[in-house]
Amino acid sequence: MKQKINFNAGPAQLPPEVIHDAAIAVRNFKKTGISILETSHRSQVFQDTVEESRALVRKLCGINDDYEILWLPGGGRMQFCMVPMNFLSAGKTAGFIDSGYWASEAAATARFYGDVKILASSKDSNYDRLPIWPEVPKELAYLHITTNNTIYGTQCHNIPDVKVPLIADMSSDILSMKRDYTKYSMFYAAVQKNLGAAGLTLAVIRKDMLSKISNSLPGMLNYKDQATENPLVNTPNVFGIYVSLLMLRWIDEKGIDAVEKENRSKAELLYAVLDNSKVFKPIVTVKADRSLMNVCFTANTPEIEKSFLDACEANDIIGVKGHRLASGFRVSLYNAISLEDVQTLIAVMNKFEKQITDPVAPPKKWGR
Ligand code: PMP
């Protein structure tokens, strides 16, 4: 069967090599004679998998043993709960930069546990840009940011140093580029975009943060217990952790610099088409704030949008419909999307635009 090009925002396309190796492990995990789906989380082969994954996270993020590397259940939203459960309490305040839907959801969840201060927001312009970086009060328990805004297509490319613990949701741009990860007291990412299969979250926490956690949280929800016992507080997502290890190996083999270079080239190509189009319009016009990961745009009319989706489908391209809150289109350019995938999409866009803008030959049937 011919593989489609999957530009979905997550779960997202995975590299064919990763799918291949994951499929082998489903049949026979590391030549053990049993499937990874049957493998005990207490077995040595699985312990080795976790250790290798942690070493690769440290290597690729440029961080040392000062950080705990945890694989946790519950996706990104579970971290919206766990971060304030562990680091916020009555009488304390957490600061948030409201750069989009996920940032505001993280803030709304934190309100269950303590005071929340929105220090800056771009909600008034429907998140079509990043808010101006604010003054950060020194007494905050932490400052929470979302490095990439999956729905609206903005991304923080420069993050100033702050004097309070900085905690980042990196769900949609983790390991897509080189970054100074040592700036962060904690960062986390649901892995179903750049780093694996849905249902698993990578949480990286600097060890000094663990001493701030009260002992009155149950083990599953307590980073301290998770750090001491992980991955054994409960039966973890054995298969998901292995798929993330395969993604980490894939990134490592390619090299994080090469991954970043390709991600930049893919985004540049696509934004150049949008900036020069008579049919498509980029949603984020502040170029410095544009996401390399989620490119969001609209077309002139709803009819044209519908025909373009048909054109994509006829060319085995899926996942370009925009999020319901932003409408239009969203093309997600995560690590596993190749330059060729983007060039194929651009060829379809160019052909579509030519037919739309050429009154002599209106589009009738879409196909290759
Ligand atoms: N944060 C960001 C930036 C996201 O894009 C998403 C999901 N798209 C989430 C959090 C929520 O992740 P999950 O669905 O795994 O809970």
Please identify every residue annotated as catalytic. Answer: 102, 169, 193
Instruction: Report the separation in Å between the CA atom of 129 and the middle of ligand 1, taken as the mean of its atom positions.
Output: 19
The residue whose CA is least distant from atom 7 of ligand 1 is: 76
For position 16, what pLDDT does the model report? 96
Q: How large is the average pLDDT for residues 237-254?
A: 98
What number of CA atoms fall less than 13 Å from residue 76's CA on the CB side?
A: 25
For position 215, what pLDDT does the model report? 79
For position 366, what pLDDT does the model report? 56
Sorted by sequence, the CB contacts under 8 Å of residue 211 that are 6+ apart come out as none
Instruction: Report the separation in Å between the CA atom of 28 and the middle of ligand 1, taken as the mean of its atom positions.
Output: 32
What number of CA atoms fall less than 13 Å from residue 278's CA on the CB side?
A: 8
Q: Which of 340, 325, 342 is closest to 153 using CA atoms?
A: 325
Q: Are 355 and 365 in contact (CB under 8 A)?
A: no
Residue 2 pLDDT > 90:
no
CA 60 to CA 338: how far, in whole Å? 20
Q: How large is the average pLDDT for residues 52-58?
A: 98
Instruction: Report the separation in Å between the CA atom of 80 and the middle of ligand 1, taken as the mean of its atom positions.
Output: 10
What is the percent of the chain with per-residue pLDDT over 70, rounded to a whole number? 96
Question: What is the per-residue DSSP string for 189-252?
Answer: EESTTTSS-SS-EEEEEEHHHHTTS-S-S-GGG-HHHHHHHTT-SS---HHHHHHHHHHHHHHH
User: How sure is the predictor about 105, in pLDDT bands with cuts at 50, 70 and 90?
Assistant: very high
Q: Which of 368, 195, 352 is closest to 280 using CA atoms?
A: 352
For position 325, what pLDDT does the model report? 87
Q: Which of 46, 42, 86, 78 is closest to 205 using CA atoms?
A: 86
Give the mutation target among 148, 150, 195, 325 for probing the ligand 1 site: most ligand atoms within 8 A of CB.
150
Q: How large is the average pLDDT for residues 75-93?
A: 96
The residue whose CA is least distant from atom 12 of ligand 1 is: 76
User: How sure is the predictor about 327, in pLDDT bands with cuts at 50, 70 and 90?
Assistant: confident
Q: Which of 278, 293, 281 is closest to 337 using CA atoms?
A: 293
Question: What is the per-residue DSSP string for 55-78?
Answer: HHHHHHHT--TTEEEEEESSHHHH
Instruction: Report the separation in Å between the CA atom of 77 and the middle of ligand 1, taken as the mean of its atom positions.
Output: 6
Q: Are 285 and 154 in contact (CB under 8 A)?
A: no
User: How sure is the predictor about 291, in pLDDT bands with cuts at 50, 70 and 90?
Assistant: very high
Nearest ligand 1 atom to the CA of 199 is: 15
Average pLDDT across the chain, whole number: 95
- The binding-site residues of ligand 1, defined as CB within 6 angstroms of any ligand atom, are 10, 75-77, 102, 146, 150, 169, 171-172, 190
For position 22, what pLDDT does the model report? 98
- Bridge partners, residue 146, by sequence: 169
For position 266, what pLDDT does the model report? 98
User: How sure is the predictor about 214, in pLDDT bands with cuts at 50, 70 and 90?
Assistant: confident
Q: What is the pTM of this model?
A: 0.96
Q: How large is the average pLDDT for residues 180-188?
A: 97
The structural domains of the chain, ordered by start, are 16-254 (3.40.640.10), 255-357 (3.90.1150.10)
Instruction: Report the separation in Å between the CA atom of 196 and the middle of ligand 1, taken as the mean of its atom positions.
Output: 13
Give the mutation target among 156, 172, 324 for probing the ligand 1 site: most ligand atoms within 8 A of CB.
172
Q: Are 294 and 331 in contact (CB under 8 A)?
A: yes
The residue whose CA is least distant from atom 4 of ligand 1 is: 171
What is the percent of the chain with per-residue pLDDT over 90, rounded to a whole number? 92
- Higher local confidence (pLDDT), 214 or 284: 284
pLDDT digits (tens, 9 = 90+) for 334-352: 999 999 999 999 999 999 9
For position 326, what pLDDT does the model report? 85
User: How sure is the predictor about 367, in pLDDT bands with cuts at 50, 70 and 90?
Assistant: low
pLDDT digits (tens, 9 = 90+) for 59-73: 999 999 999 999 999
Residue 88 pLDDT > 80:
yes
Residue 107 pLDDT > 80:
yes
Q: For the purposes of burial, counting CB atoms within 10 Å of the CB of 323, is it exposed (0-12), middle (13-18) or buried (19 or more)? A: middle
